Amino acid sequence: MKMDFSGQVAVVTGAGSGIGLAVSLLLGELGAKVLAVDKTGDMAEAAVERLRAAGCVAQAAAADVRHAHEVQAYVAQAVKAWGRIDVFMNNAGWQGLVASLVDYPDDAFDQVLAVNVRGVFLGLKHVLPVMMAQGKGAVVNTASLAAHIGTRQLAPYTASKHAVLGLTKSAALEVARKGVRVNAVCPGSVDTPMIRAIEEGQAGADAQALREQRMAIVPNGRYATAQEVAQLMVYLVSDWSSHITGEGVQINGGLYS
């Protein structure tokens, strides 16, 4: 059976770079109409340019996921354009400052939780009713390996990703009889600008050495690519995973197995 999203509508937040861009392109290649959402309008437009250059149907939306009215606006845009939402990649996130817990500024903590928890919550709150009305839909929230383990100098990020997994499980139970599934991906280190920013924050001039040290402890010896994470996300919203819901699926090359 071929994986085919023709006729389906996908909304992807954080679509301007990294995992969000990779999953937008993959969904588009598989036939989905894609609403690429990013806080930075220019990045959303750039993603749409790449999608359209590949022959995909796509629109851009600028939205700060922390604000309910902006989340409602991107949901309304997708429904107005294409009449439905079949796939929701609730992906936007931010690592925040890299600092010890005792030195972490209060306002920076609030910002991390606002993006990573409130943003995911608002996305679920406003997309799930559309899917329930259709009687069909699938959501993937982007969590992290940090949803399962502690991470030094990233306590707020770690707490936020634990919360994403909790939201995933609760939402999945609430909509399971409505034809809607909700899962999370929990990547380990992924070769994106975010992980490089974290490494630089933790090790400064020794960031490359830290990177090599971390790759050495991964059983397969490397970080994931954004494309590999995107492939897992697409599997989780496809009919191939029709009996999987409420799960936080790790992708980390065997780390912590």
Kindly list the structural domains of the chain, giving each domain's residue range(s) and its CATH number in brackets, ordered by start.
9-188+226-250 (3.40.50.720), 189-223 (no CATH)
Reported pTM: 0.94
% of the chain beyond a pLDDT of 90: 82
Whether 87 shows a pLDDT value over 90: the answer reads: yes
How sure is the predictor about 1, in pLDDT bands with cuts at 50, 70 and 90?
low
pLDDT tens figures, 112-147: 999 999 999 999 999 999 999 999 999 999 999 999
Q: CB-based contacts of 133: which residues, under 8 Å, 6+ apart? A: none
248, pLDDT greater than 70: yes
Mean pLDDT, the chain, integer: 94
Catalytic sites, residue numbers: 157
pLDDT at 209 over 90: no
- pLDDT by residue (tens digit) across 157-207? 999 999 999 999 999 999 999 999 999 999 988 887 777 777 777 777 777
Cα–Cα distance for residue pair 14/16, rounded to 1 Å: 6
pLDDT in tens, 48-81: 999 999 999 999 999 999 999 999 999 999 999 9
Yes or no: say if 257 and 229 are a contact pair by the CB < 8 Å rule: no
> 163-182: buried (b, 16+ CB within 10 Å) or exposed (e) per residue?
bbbebbbebbeebeebebbb
Q: What is the largest CA-CA distance in the chain?
A: 53
- Decide if 34 contacts 57 (C-beta within 8 A): yes
